[in-house]
């Protein structure tokens, strides 16, 4: 495999939808239990359950410590310190059943992440990401002993004092295009095999950017070249890094790229990963992004970095 071109920096643009935050993580407070205890009493607290939280009128529902539901067994939830805002207000998250709040409804990042304020977006993605890590790391990998949350929820410790910190798995995602800047320019999108299984939503097939995890000993650029070759059998060149955002399903950092490929090259699918892949014109993609009907395809949802990459290319 040939070495891919080095990524080229682009000018300042809007960030991907979930790469926004107005939250100061204030990590120095995590090791100060007295400060954390005092902050809890004046904090705004986000309750998360199965990746969802309550929202009303486009804002997350934040509670005071005295408003939190009491568990049936009286157990206290693990507190996850998220940070402070510009006014010094502390924010925490807890994972438990969502309370009943008049006028509020459960929401997830996929549905509303792009619509939230910078503060709310940062709170929700951090809370969901951190809780997902806790739920998967209850036990020490070496001994199997139960691990306890410490430092405001940013460390887990086993009885022997072994520490574990939150991990994020790097993944690459790439918008492949033919290099034509005009309305006839085309991009290559794929329909994941998992989206065609029984129970998949009805309607036009969803097409998105190709993506995959970075393997040990591999650079992000190498991962882009490898994943595209494995999934659709196409060679890419002229890689550009476009931006990143966290994707807590269950705990990834999506590294976004664009790359050029030959639209006349044969597309050879890996059917275990990709059910279909097609070249789409910029004009058709713009129409679908604008809400036009009558097309036989849909694109990734607005909170995803895939949607961001597709939009940036379509309206460049």
Give me the percent of the chain exceeding a pLDDT of 70.
93
> Residue 79: which of 54, 109, 46 has the closest Cα?
46
**Cβ atoms 267, 188 nearer than 8 A:** yes
Q: Which has more pLDDT, 4 or 40?
A: 40
List the beta strands (DSSP E) in the chain.
44-48, 52-56, 59-60, 80-84, 90-95, 105-108, 148-150, 155-157, 163-164, 169-177, 186-192, 205-207, 210-213, 236-247, 252-261, 274-281, 297-299
What's the mean per-residue pLDDT of the chain? Answer: 92
What confidence category does residue 197 fall into, taking pLDDT thresholds of 50, 70 and 90? low
For 105-135, what is each residue's pLDDT tens digit?
A: 999 999 999 999 999 999 999 999 999 999 9
- What pLDDT is attached to residue 196? 74
Q: Which has more pLDDT, 124 or 4?
A: 124
Number of Cβ within a 10 Å radius of residue 60:
23
> Residue 16: which of 316, 289, 256 has the closest Cα?
256
Give the CA distances from residue 88 to residues 22, 67, 117, 193, in Å, rounded to whole numbers and listed in that order.
12, 21, 18, 46
Asked if residue 6 has pLDDT above 90, the reply is no
Contact residues for 160 (Cβ-Cβ < 8 A; gap 6+) = 140, 143, 145
- What pLDDT is attached to residue 313? 97
Q: What global pTM score does this model have?
A: 0.89
**Cβ atoms 227, 149 nearer than 8 A:** no
For 261-300, what is each residue's pLDDT tens digit?
A: 999 999 999 999 999 999 999 999 999 999 999 999 999 9
- What pLDDT is attached to residue 12? 47
What confidence category does residue 10 fall into, taking pLDDT thresholds of 50, 70 and 90? very low
**Cβ atoms 107, 127 nearer than 8 A:** no
Alpha-helical segments (H) within 165-275? 220-232
């Amino acid at each position: 495999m040939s070495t891919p071109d080095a990524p080229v920096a682009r000018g300042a643009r809007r960030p991907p939808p979930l790469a926004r935050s107005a939250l100061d993580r204030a990590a120095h407070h995590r090791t100060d239990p007295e400060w954390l205890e005092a902050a809890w009493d004046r904090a705004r607290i986000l309750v998360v359950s199965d990746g969802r939280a309550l929202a009303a009128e486009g804002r997350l529902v934040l509670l005071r410590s005295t408003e939190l539901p009491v568990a049936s067994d009286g157990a206290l939830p693990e507190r996850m310190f998220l940070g402070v805002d510009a006014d010094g207000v502390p924010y925490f998250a807890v994972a438990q059943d969502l309370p009943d709040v008049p006028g509020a409804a459960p929401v997830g990042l996929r549905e509303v992440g792009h619509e939230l304020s910078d503060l709310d977006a940062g709170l929700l993605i951090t809370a969901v990401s951190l809780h997902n890590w806790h739920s998967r790391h209850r036990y020490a990998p070496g001994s199997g002993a139960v691990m306890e949350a410490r430092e405001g929820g940013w460390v887990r410790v086993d009885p022997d004092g072994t520490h574990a910190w939150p991990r994020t798995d790097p993944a690459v995602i790439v918008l492949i295009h033919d290099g034509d800047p005009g309305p006839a320019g085309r991009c290559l999108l794929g329909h994941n095999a998992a989206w065609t299984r029984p129970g998949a939503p009805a309607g036009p097939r969803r097409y998105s950017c190709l993506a995959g995890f970075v393997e040990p000993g591999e650079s992000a650029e190498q991962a882009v070249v490898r994943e595209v070759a494995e999934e659709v059998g196409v060679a890419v060149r002229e890689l550009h890094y476009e931006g990143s955002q966290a994707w807590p399903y269950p705990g990834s950092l999506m590294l976004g790229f664009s790359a050029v490929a030959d639209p006349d090259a044969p597309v050879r699918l890996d059917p275990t990963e990709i059910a279909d892949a097609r070249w789409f014109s910029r004009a058709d993609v713009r129409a679908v992004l604008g809400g036009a009907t009558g097309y036989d395809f849909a694109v990734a949802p607005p909170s995803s970095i895939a949607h961001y990459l597709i939009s940036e290319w379509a309206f460049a």
